[in-house]
Amino acid sequence: MNSEIKVSVAEHNFSMEHRPDADNRNVSEVAVETLIQRMTLREKIGQLNQINAGPHNAIAQISDDLRNGRIGSIINQVDVNIVNEMQRIAVEESRLGIPLLVGRDVIHGYKTVMPIPLGQAASWNPDIVREGAHWSAKEARKQGVNWTFAPMIDVSRDARWGRIAESFGEDPLLNSVMGVAMVEGFQGSDMSSKDSIAATAKHFAGYGASEGGRDYSTTNIPENELRNIYLRPFKAAAEAGVATFMVSFGDIDGVPATANSFLMQDVLRGEWDYQGFVVSDWDSIRQLTAHGLTENDKDAACAAAIAGVDMDMESRTFLYNLEALVNEDRVSEQSLDAKVANVLKLKFELGLFDNPYVNPDDFPEFGSDEALQTAKQAAVQSLVLLKNDNDILPLSPDALSKLSIIGPLADAAEDQLGTWIFDGDPNLSVSSLQAIKHLAEGQFDLHYDRAMPSTRSRDSSAFEGISEAAKGSDAVLLFLGEEAILSGEAHSRADINLPGAQADLVKAIRQTGKPVIAVIQAGRPLTLSNIIDEVDAILYAWHPGTMGGAAIADVLFGRKAPSGKLPVAFPKMVGQIPIHYNHKNTGRPATPDEIIHIDDIEIGAPQTSLGMTSFHLDAGYRPLFPFGFGLSYTQFSYSDLSMTSDKVRVGDTVSVSVTVKNEGDVAGTEVVQLYMRDIAASVTRPVRELKGFQRVHLEPGEAQIISFVIGEDEMAFYRRDMTLGVEPGRFHIWVGGSSEADLHAEFELTQE
Ligand code: GLC
In this predicted model, what pLDDT tens digit does every residue of 681-706 receive, in sequence order?
999 999 999 999 999 999 999 999 99
Residue 170 has pLDDT above 60, yes or no: yes
With contact defined as beta carbons under 8 Å apart, do 181 and 116 qualify? no
Q: Which helix (H) or strand (E) holds 470?
A: helix 463-470
Residue 98's nearest CA partner among 27, 148, 49, 140 is 49
Ligand 1 site-directed mutation target among 101, 149, 422, most atoms within 8 Å of CB: 149
Query: Reading across the β-sheet that carries 147-148, which strands appear in turn?
Result: 147-148, 101-104, 73-75, 49-52, 312-313
Q: What is the pLDDT of residue 23?
A: 56
Per-residue confidence band for 2, with pLDDT thresholds at 50, 70 and 90: very low
**Phi and psi of 510, rounded to 5°?**
-60, -30
Q: What is the pLDDT of residue 16?
A: 40
Average pLDDT over residues 428-455: 97
Q: Is the CB of 274 under 6 A from ligand 1?
A: no
Whole-number Å distance, alpha carbon 86 to ligand 1 midpoint, is 22
* Ligand 1 atom 10 nearest Cα: 149
Q: What percent of the chain shows pLDDT beyond 70?
A: 96
Q: What is the pLDDT of residue 373?
A: 98
Whole-number Å distance, alpha carbon 598 to ligand 1 midpoint, is 43
For residue 233, count CB atoms less than 10 angstroms from its CB and return exposed for 0-12, middle for 13-18, buried for 19 or more. buried
Q: Is the CB of 489 under 6 A from ligand 1?
A: yes
For residue 497, count CB atoms less than 10 angstroms from its CB and return exposed for 0-12, middle for 13-18, buried for 19 or more. middle
Whole-number Å distance, alpha carbon 282 to ligand 1 midpoint, is 6
Residue 547 has pLDDT above 50, yes or no: yes
Average pLDDT over residues 391-406: 97
Q: What is the pLDDT of residue 610?
A: 79
Per-residue confidence band for 270, with pLDDT thresholds at 50, 70 and 90: very high
Q: What percent of the chain shows pLDDT beyond 90?
A: 94
Measured distance CA(107)–CA(127) in Å, rounded: 17
Nearest ligand 1 atom to alpha carbon 166: 9
Q: Which residues lie across from 200 on neighbouring strands?
A: 244
* Ligand 1 atom 3 nearest Cα: 281
Residue 467 has pLDDT above 90, yes or no: yes
* Ligand 1 atom 8 nearest Cα: 281
Which entry of 171, 251, 281, 536 is annotated as an active-site residue?
A: 281
State whether the Cα torsion 199-203-204-209 is positive or negative.
negative
* Ligand 1 atom 7 nearest Cα: 282
Measured distance CA(440)–CA(434) in Å, rounded: 10
Q: Find the angle CA(513)-CA(515)-CA(520) to the nearest 5 degrees.
A: 120
Residue 237's nearest CA partner among 246, 226, 248, 250 is 246
Q: Find the angle CA(428)-CA(198)-CA(316) to the nearest 5 degrees.
A: 100
Per-residue confidence band for 22, with pLDDT thresholds at 50, 70 and 90: low
Residue 640 gets which letter from DSSP? E
Nearest ligand 1 atom to alpha carbon 282: 11
State whether the Cα torsion 734-735-739-740 is positive or negative.
negative
Q: Is the CB of 104 under 6 A from ligand 1?
A: no
Per-residue confidence band for 25, with pLDDT thresholds at 50, 70 and 90: low
* Residue 646 designated active-site: no
Whole-number Å distance, alpha carbon 308 to ligand 1 midpoint, is 19
Residue 50's nearest CA partner among 320, 280, 337, 314 is 314
Average pLDDT over residues 14-27: 49
Nearest ligand 1 atom to alpha carbon 150: 10
* Ligand 1 atom 12 nearest Cα: 105
Coil, helix or strand for 465?
helix
